[in-house]
Amino acid sequence: MPEVMTSTSTSSNPTVVFTKPNEVVVEDRAIPKPEAGHVLIRTACTMISTGTELTALSGRTEASWAGMKLPFVPGYNNIGRVVEVGEGVGREWIGRKVGTYGPHAKFVMQAVGDCRQNPHDQIPDEHAVFFTTAEIVMNGVRRSGLRWGESVVVFGQGLLGQLATRICRIAGGLPVFAVDVSDERLGRLPADKSIVRANSKRDDVLKLVEQHTRGRLADVVIELTGQAELIPSEFAPLRKHGRFVVLSSPRGKTTFEFHPFMQRSQIIIGAHNGSHPRYSEFDNPWTMQRDAELFFDWVASGAMDMSPLISHRASYQDAPKLYQMLLEDRSKAMGVILNW
């Protein structure tokens, strides 16, 4: 069983740290003083990434390649309020609610330019904290070139897949097919008649897509299972000249026969979050900050409800126990929230 530990002393700035493979502590650290151009944020809540963070916690080789070498301070989903500003930052920032890619810590320092301002105080913090995942998915949906009225198949209904299904519907996808092997995950989807649920263990996904598209097949397929070996089979419901978006991070090799794919003139699109434009441009104004702003607007207006996607809540003090639970079984984990 993985060894998980916690600090028992009083913290000025409690911070979650992965000290070695499968070991988590809540460590006492100093509260950072904001540098020029930065702000100090008092965290309200953070959300655990059950993919990226557990990869880092395992100490696997790919985590080291990605810069997550142990010991490591995890986290990149942080919502809080500005409590202090550094040189060159106006004091009007104090009190603002912001989202950042800051770690799991009570106080974090971030550059002003990296903050996502949330103008909607009425949004619960545990809903706003999904903004990072939303940014990733919104970029992938934009990269797909989805147009209203086009049909979409989303393979995988983990957290990213859940958001992809919802965002494709908001963007005009019709119908949107949500595919997974878990009825529990499929049950978290909104009650929308234009979302067609498919459990690939018992449903014939190709026949289902043919039935609901009058034989035209899907215009877009989005891969979010992360399972490299499944990718070739996911092209089956995609029409000729359709677009296949790799929005997951598949590990391992995929054996792919190109001849049928070439005959159908299909397009493969990579959609890493880093392909967001760094600055707003006339032909693509959708920076990460702009996507976060739109996400906050959706939540505030009721267009997107995050409640069904929160699977676990805990105090930061219980973080080690929570990580142990995830290491043992994360099959039912979605939004895993730490309150600070």
For residue 316, pLDDT beyond 60: yes
For the segment 122-148, the average pLDDT, to the nearest whole number, is: 97
Nearest C-alpha neighbor of 167 from the set 216, 101, 126, 222:
222
Contact status, residue 187 vs residue 162, Cβ threshold 8 Å: no
With residues binned 3-state (H G I as helix, E B as strand, rest as coil), the percentages for the chain, rounded to 5, are 30, 25, 40
Evaluate if residue 150 carries a pLDDT over 70: yes
From the CB of residue 31, how many other CB atoms can be counted at a distance below 10 Å?
16
pLDDT digits (tens, 9 = 90+) for 68-96: 888 999 999 999 999 999 999 999 999 99
Range 133-275 classified under CATH 3.40.50.720: yes
Work out the pLDDT band at 2, boundaries 50, 70, 90.
very low
CA 36 to chain centre: 30
139-145: average pLDDT? 97
Contact of 286 with 142, CB cutoff 8 Å: yes
User: Do you know the residue count of the chain?
Assistant: 340
Q: Is the pLDDT at 4 greater than 90, yes or no?
A: no
Q: What is d(CA 321, CA 42) in angstroms, rounded to the nearest whole number?
A: 23
The mean pLDDT of the chain is: 93
Domain boundaries along the sequence of the chain: 15-130+306-339, 133-275
Alpha-carbon distance of 187 to 164, in angstroms, equals: 15
**How far apart are the C-alpha atoms of 280 and 260, rounded to whole Å?**
39
Tell me if the domain spanning 15-130+306-339 has CATH number 3.90.180.10. Answer: yes
